[in-house]
Amino acid sequence: GAGVSQSPSNKVTEKGKDVELRCDPISGHTALYWYRQSLGQGLEFLIYFQGNSAPDKSGLPSDRFSAERTGGSVSTLTIQRTQQEDSAVYLCASSVRDYYEQYFGPGTRLTVT
């Protein structure tokens, strides 16, 4: 079966523009996670969805970041008015509810110029 997919794989944008990143989780996985990895750092947890709801949004770095999930499947992470410090690889993962093994997509490399 297909794994987690993300699009685009690479995105270069100008400072101040909005970007939208997409994640398609593994079919049947109800839990979905967004992380980001900045250069030389580990993965930083951003937000978690169980079904369509995100019980805790406090991991999002600023109010320029938002995420939604519809139909219990596809999720989008939106960054408004991008800044250079937003440059990172954004990773999405999904897991079967109540399991801890998260399966990651290949990531979207975002570069803000």
In the chain, the N- to C-terminal Cα span, in Å, equals 37
Q: Does 65 bind another protein (CB under 8 A)?
A: no
List the x/- string, 7-46, binding to another protein by CB under 8 A.
------------------------x-x-x----xxxxxxx
Single-letter residue type at 33: Y
The gap from C-alpha 18 to its chain's centroid, in whole angstroms, comes to 15
Find tokens 């990143």 and name the residue: 21
CA 25/CA 32 separation, integer angstroms:
7
**Length of the chain as a residue count:** 113
Q: How far is the CB of 81 from another protein (least distance, A)?
A: 25
How many residues at the interface with another protein, by CB under 8 A? 30
**Which of 19, 36, 95, 110 lies at the binding interface for another protein (CB under 8 A)?**
95
The binding site for another protein (CB under 8 A) comprises 4, 31, 33, 35, 40-48, 50, 55-56, 59, 91, 93, 95, 97-98, 100-107
